Amino acid sequence: MKKKTQQDIIDLYKKRFMEDGVTVEALPPSGSYREYIRLTSAHFKAIGTWNEDEKENNAFIEFSKHFRSKGIMVPEIYDYKPSECIYLQEDLGNETLYSYLSEVREFEGFSDKIIQIYRKVVRELPKIQIVASKDLDYNFCYPRKAFDRQSMMWDLNYFKYYFLKLAKIPFNEQLLEDDFTTFTDYLLKAESNFFMFRDFQSRNVMLVDGEPWFIDYQGGRQGALQYDLASLLYDSKADIPQDVREGLMEDYLDELEKIHPVDRVEFCQYFYGYVLIRMMQAMGAYGFRGFYEKKEHFLKSIPYALNNLEIVLRRVDLPVELSELIRVLKSLSTSETLKKVASKQAELIIAITSFSYKKGYPADLSGNGGGFVFDCRSVRNPGKYDQYKSLTGKDDAVIRFFEEDSDMEEFLSPIFTIVERSVEKYLKRGFTHLSVGFGCTGGQHRSVYSAERMGTYLRNKYPVRVVINHREQDN
């Protein structure tokens, strides 16, 4: 973010909250071109956003106001300066549904904890699509008011030009275009006068005190109910087990039937059609960002997408003939180019654990052994003071204690250097797992803070998946 833009956001924050002494933290980039910073002062905090696309900003601002008025959990918009393309929104923290399931799954598998959160999400979705979208002004939609024929063809051609062509997948262009037309004609027969979130996936669901909140709906428009459910359940790297997907679909339909009549057989038939078009749109994005823009971390999703595609192709039963499209989709699993991509995408998972020495060292669940364990007990302990005893290293008061009144920074600085050296070597050598542990007396303050700081540092610097487990707090 440019210095002037950042200063403009800081000035907007100071004007809104009437506080100086603002600290700024740059947040890691997402899949969009928007840029974010976290601003914190003595009594307030917010996320500052810059996006030069004013129409997209307007869509997000107006949809946020509308959904909050309907009781949907979306961030409050504190202030907006259209001329500078900046705005302040409520800070919902760092935990997304994706980060939560990644951390829990690393230690427990795809456990009931994860499933229960997903059930909350799918039960909320019909309320967004139908109840809360009443009286929504679709004139703010960007770039289009509906997921119509033109929108679908954009997505299908995105897949063709940025995935198939760049991955060197052979196809008959005329036959494929004919199938695109037939496929689009079929999908457009589904009832489609509902709000379609457009990018309803695990990274766009925030968890606040265990409850789902929703972000990144600025691409919303009118569309079919099936699309958002397809986006969530076949989110590539979320990698939801198929039996869980099917159970969650039933939960969604049970909730939907309370507010809207539904033919379950017809819904499911259209559903797998929308799964296919959503997957093709996603693969187009992976190709554009990965093959074309050379951002290799987007290629990490391709193996997951291909696994999902094989599952869907076994289940899809559309009442239209799509010979070339289906042939091309089936050929992806045998593509030598994509096999090479998959072989390069072994992901480095860094498991960071905080723990109490009183309860022993953390178990190695990776089967690899090794890794680092750092003893935080040399750092001044806030747990000795009454005002901090009920808090943890994730609470603002404890964070300020470590930042202002301890030698924590001197303790962590050499540790960061040691760990990052291993991360860089592991990435070059294709290793897939590194463990880092922080121990203290109770596993509550020093170790928790250190684990969170290490996780943020590594996420911001390297293309790795960080999972954090606060053993004494999370279990």
> What are the tens digits of pLDDT across the range 72-92?
999 999 999 999 999 999 999
Last residue of a domain, one of 290, 317, 342: 342
CB 344, CB 461: distance < 8 Å? no
CB 147, CB 224: distance < 8 Å? yes
> What's residue 296's pLDDT?
74
Q: Are residues 44 and 131 in the same domain?
A: no
Percent of the chain with pLDDT over 90: 77
Q: Are residues 104 and 75 in the same domain?
A: no
Burial of 280 (0-12, 13-18, 19+ CB in 10 A): buried
Report residue 427 CA to chain centroid gap.
22
**Structure tokens, 42:** 């003595």
Residue ranges making up the domain that contains 447? 349-474
**Structure tokens, 264:** 């379950």
Q: What is the DSSP letter of 346?
A: P
Q: Are residues 265 and 157 in the same domain?
A: yes
> What's residue 295's pLDDT?
80
On the question of pLDDT at 341 being above 80, the answer is no
Percent of the chain with pLDDT over 70: 97
Measured distance CA(48)–CA(35) in Å, rounded: 8
Q: Are residues 312 and 417 in the same domain?
A: no
Measured distance CA(197)–CA(224) in Å, rounded: 10
- Three-state secondary structure of 119-172: HHHHHHHHHHHHHCCCCCCHHHCCCCCECCHHHHHHHHHHHHHHHHCCCCCCCC
Give the chain's count of helices (H) and strands (E): 16, 13
At 144, phi and psi to the nearest 5?
A: -140, 160
The one-letter amino acid code at 119 reads: R
At 156, is the secondary structure helix, strand, or coil? helix
Do strands 86-89 and 45-50 pair parallel, antiparallel, or not at all (unpaired)?
A: antiparallel
Last residue of a domain, one of 285, 320, 342: 342
On the question of pLDDT at 31 being above 70, the answer is no
Q: Return the CATH number at 310.
A: 3.90.1200.10
| Helix/strand/coil percent split, the chain, to 5 | 55, 15, 30
Give the model confidence (pLDDT) of 291-336 as tens digits. 998 887 788 888 889 989 999 999 899 999 999 999 999 999 888 8
| Pick from 102-116, 136-150, 334-348: least confident | 334-348
Give the model confidence (pLDDT) of 153-171 as tens digits. 999 999 999 999 999 999 9
Do strands 86-89 and 194-196 pair parallel, antiparallel, or not at all (unpaired)?
A: unpaired
> What's residue 342's pLDDT?
66
Measured distance CA(305)–CA(343) in Å, rounded: 14
| Overall number of domains in the chain | 3
Burial of 316 (0-12, 13-18, 19+ CB in 10 A): middle
Please report how many Cα atoms fall inside a 13 Å half-sphere around the Cα of residue 30, on the Cβ side.
Answer: 18
**Structure tokens, 183:** 């496929």
Q: Which helix (H) or strand (E) holds 35?
A: strand 35-40
Which of the four pLDDT bands, split at 50, 70 and 90, describes residue 344?
A: low
Long-range contact list for 256-260, CB < 8 A, 24+ apart? 256/126, 256/130, 256/225, 258/126, 259/126, 259/127, 259/130, 259/131, 260/126, 260/130
Q: Are residues 137 and 48 in the same domain?
A: no
The one-letter amino acid code at 470 reads: H
Give the model confidence (pLDDT) of 440-475 as tens digits. 999 999 999 999 999 989 988 888 888 898 999 876
pTM of the model: 0.76
Measured distance CA(343)–CA(331) in Å, rounded: 18
Q: Are residues 298 and 226 in the same domain?
A: yes
At 108, phi and psi to the nearest 5?
A: -130, -5
Mean pLDDT of 163-184: 97
Put residue 31 in one of left, alpha, beta given phi > 0 → left and psi -120 to 50 → alpha. Answer: alpha
Q: Are residues 108 and 48 in the same domain?
A: no
Give the model confidence (pLDDT) of 377-435 as tens digits. 999 999 999 999 999 999 999 999 998 877 999 999 999 999 999 999 888 777 888 99
Q: Are residues 103 and 210 in the same domain?
A: yes
Mean pLDDT of 343-367: 80
- β strands within 360-464, DSSP E: 372-375, 433-440
Which of the four pLDDT bands, split at 50, 70 and 90, describes residue 32?
A: confident
Last residue of a domain, one of 61, 89, 117: 89
Instruction: Tell me which residue has tokens 């300066």.
Output: 81
Q: Are residues 319 and 171 in the same domain?
A: yes
Q: Are residues 336 and 354 in the same domain?
A: no
Q: Are residues 266 and 370 in the same domain?
A: no
Q: How far is CA 454 from CA 36, 91, 94, 354, 382, in A?
A: 20, 21, 14, 11, 19
Q: Are residues 69 and 123 in the same domain?
A: no
Measured distance CA(396)–CA(402) in Å, rounded: 10
